[in-house]
Amino acid sequence: MAPSSEHQTLPTSTTTCAVVGGGPAGLVLGLLLARAGVQVTVLEKHADFLRDFRGDTVHPTTLDLLEDLGLFEEFDRLPHSRVSRVELPTGDGGAVVAGDFSRIRRWVHHPYIAMVPQWDLLNLLADAGRREPTYTLLTKHEVTGVVREGNRVVGVDYTCPEGPGRLLADLVVACDGRWSVVRRSAGLPTREFACPFDVWWFRIPTSTRVGESLLPRLGDGKLVIAIPREGYLQAGYLGRKGTDAQLRARGVEAFRADVTELLPELADEIATIEMADVKHLDVRMDRLTRWHAPGLLCIGDAAHAMSPAGGVGINLAVQDAVAAARRLAAPLRRGVFRRSGPEAEKVLAQVQRRRTVPTVVVQAVQRLLHARLLMPALEGKVAAAPRGLVQLVRRVPAVTAVPAIVVGIGPRPERAPAWACRPARAPGPDRTRK
């Protein structure tokens, strides 16, 4: 049976695995599969990666993955800052360390979170992929839907500067984020969770050394999270969902005043913020109840949209990609996905089973943070770390390893398969962005 479509004359090409979306999950999966000798094509709708991602965290397990892949030295040359601690304000005006990444060095080689512009990370991964003979990255290729043959997905339709086209594949992997076109086109069932707040991201320029601590500031029903970066603070202002229009109607002076109330030491820098630079993130949390269909697999945000609480979404997506590559590489080489059958379905189900537990655990922790900390802070009920927590941390500092493990390592860390590991490359041209 020929693939169904209303455009039977579309220019058509073929590949073994089509990866939709050039984010962290898609580029890691594409690189790993290419290193396994699988013909893989990654489709990215934008011309490049120069966008304001805001989620620029690279966690310890991802740093270790880059080392296994022989890419850490290249990554380490990129301009970045490090977050080594998470602190919470105390009632006496001080702060207490709630999460200390230095305490997890026995499990990871790099016990910190690297804050790096995501476009630099994606360029690094894309360059590594291009060095593999079976890897293709197609930019400016926006996927518009899946192609079916009976009940099986056999490829995707896309648009590009040359016009519409079609890519046929043994397997399609959706890595196109929380607004996934592929997942919507496939009609996979989704379970949604209430997220009663949104985030407004902006930068606070500062030449002051801001250290290596992430310090939330809260009070009077307001909450700002400030993340140290090179030359600025990446700040997230939390507010009730659905209030973007009201926030903007109040004007920039009111917004500056709210932020200055929580970060008074940066009043002069905050005075330079313009409303056009404040980006609204509609926070969503959901997960597919079934991540796959014949010929199709969803991973990363396409399978489970995460809250920004803990900043773990990228790390979870990368871990999905590693787990998927381990299980998909050999079956893809053997042609298992060229037809529907129990073996193909078994492999896809294995990926979902492997990654469902960490997804459920992380989302449960995020929902707990929403209920116990974030929403009480926005309701004016919490203005500092609970006294019991402060006393516990000061008496038993080792407990600060627990949040670091949850955030920095996660419930089920994945290691690069041996066939994908490489030694570090010799230094090449300096690609650092000025």
Answer whether 47's CB lies under 8 Å from 140's CB. yes
- pLDDT, tens digit (0-9, with 9 covering 90-100), for 266-324: 999 999 999 999 999 999 999 999 999 999 999 999 999 999 888 888 999 999 999 99
pTM of the shown model? 0.92
Answer whether 272's CB lies under 8 Å from 255's CB. no
pLDDT in tens, the chain (434 residues): 445 444 457 899 999 999 999 999 999 999 999 999 999 999 999 999 887 656 688 999 999 999 999 999 999 999 888 999 988 888 777 888 989 999 999 999 999 999 888 899 999 999 999 999 999 999 999 999 999 999 999 999 999 999 999 999 999 999 999 899 999 999 999 999 999 999 999 999 887 655 667 778 888 888 998 888 878 888 999 999 999 999 999 999 999 999 999 999 899 999 999 999 999 999 999 999 999 999 999 999 999 999 988 888 899 999 999 999 999 999 999 999 998 899 999 999 999 999 999 999 999 999 999 998 899 989 988 887 888 888 999 999 999 999 999 999 999 999 999 999 999 876 654 443 33
- pLDDT, tens digit (0-9, with 9 covering 90-100), for 184-194: 999 999 999 99
Measured distance CA(404)–CA(112) in Å, rounded: 9
